Structure formats: C-alpha cells, structure tokens
Amino acid sequence: MSVVAVYPGSFDPITNGHTSILKSGLVAFERIVVAVLHNPRKQALFSVEERIELIRESVAEMGAEPGRVEVDTFDGLLVDYCKRKGARIILRGLRAVADFEYELQMANMNRHLNEDVETVFIMADDAYFYVSSNLIKEAAKLGGDVKALVPGPVAAKLSAKLGR
Ligand code: PNS
C-alpha cells in the first residue's frame, strides 16, 4: 500500500530547510503532497501561484522521482484537505526546541479534529536548523546573501523581487 503524506505550510518561500525535510520524507513515504496554505489574511511576499511555481522548480532541482511529489494549495482545515487527498499522515519539520510547543499544539488540535490523521515529525538537517522563511526574507531585504540557504530558483526570484 502506498503511503501518502501531506506536507503543509506557508512556504513563503520554500527554503533548504523545507527541501531537506522533503528529501527525508521521501525515504519514509511513497508520495508527498506539498500543500501551500492559501490564507488571504496573512501578508506574504510571494503569491500562492509564485510559491507553487518555486516549489515545483525546487523539487525538480532536487531531482525527486517524477510522480512522487505533488504541489497543491489548500484552504480551510488541514485535516479535511488530508481526507480529500486520501492522506492519513501530516508531515512537519522540527528545528530547534522553539518549534516544539507550536507544533505540539497543532498536532494535538489536528488529532482532536480527526483522529485518523497522524502527524509525523522529521528533524531538519542541522545545516539548516536556524533557517526560516521569515529570516530569509528579512536578511534578503536588508541585502544579506542567502543563496546557500535556499534552492536556486528561490535565490533568483528573491533577487528579482527585491531588485538586487
Ligand atoms: O509554514 P507554517 O506557516 O508554519 O504552516 C502552518 C500550517 C499551514 C500548517 C497551519 O497554519 C495550518 O494547518 N493551517 C490550516 C488551518 C487548520 O487546519 N487549522 C487547525 C489546525 S491547528
């Protein structure tokens, strides 16, 4: 039986931390649906369409086997989306201890909402333990060099977006 996992997030933009989780996730799961939350209330640097395109390009750069990674968008409850996709696993990455409390709350809420869906955590590669989309955006906006921390297509798009 092929195990499908949903890897949800804002991905504004996808970072090397995210791709490291995805690579590890592909060791454990047959198929992964990377699901970008469509949240009109949250201000984002990249539109949902841009984020999806950047994830697709980054997955291609990773060299993932065709058909094993799908990129999609969702709104509403994550557990309802998982059900629609036939997935019983939510994949989330963990970095430092600081992530733990938020992730524990979300995992417990999701379990309360649908006990058939399990959250599975994968530790981020230690090289990217301090990498987050927010810090990447902040550093890039202030002229910092973040090329080594994001996939190639993201580095190019960040420079273009920020006019550097
Ligand atoms: O990358 P992020 O911003 O940490 O991802 C957060 C995300 C998208 C996983 C979370 O906000 C989410 O699942 N939102 C969907 C709404 C939902 O299901 N909420 C109830 C569970 S906490």
Q: Using a CB cutoff of 8 Å and minimum separation of 24, what contacts does 41-47 make? A: 42/10, 44/10, 44/12, 45/12, 45/13, 45/137, 45/161, 46/12, 46/13, 46/157, 46/161
- Using CA atoms, how far apart are residues 148 and 155, in angstroms rounded to an integer? 9
Q: Are 2 and 30 in contact (CB under 8 A)?
A: yes
Task: Give the ligand 1 atom nearest the CA of 11.
Answer: 1
**Containing structural domain, residue 102:** 4-162
Q: Is the CB of 91 under 6 A from ligand 1?
A: no
Clarify whether 18 is annotated catalytic: yes
- 31, 92, 95, 157: the catalytic one is 95
* pLDDT score at 107: 98
Instruction: Return the CATH number at 122.
Output: 3.40.50.620
* pLDDT score at 26: 97
Going by the DSSP 8-state scheme, the letter that residue 96 receives in this structure is S
Number of compact structural domains in the chain: 1
- Using CA atoms, how far apart are residues 55 and 61, in angstroms rounded to an integer? 10
Query: What tokens were used for 132?
Result: 């987050």
End-to-end CA distance of the chain: give it in Å, rounded.
Answer: 48
- Using CA atoms, how far apart are residues 135 and 79, in angstroms rounded to an integer? 28
CA distances from 27 to 52, 68, 74, 85 (A): 22, 11, 24, 20
Whole-prediction pTM: 0.97
Profile the chain (164 residues) by mean pLDDT over runs of 10 residues: 93 97 97 96 95 98 94 98 98 91 97 98 93 96 96 96 80
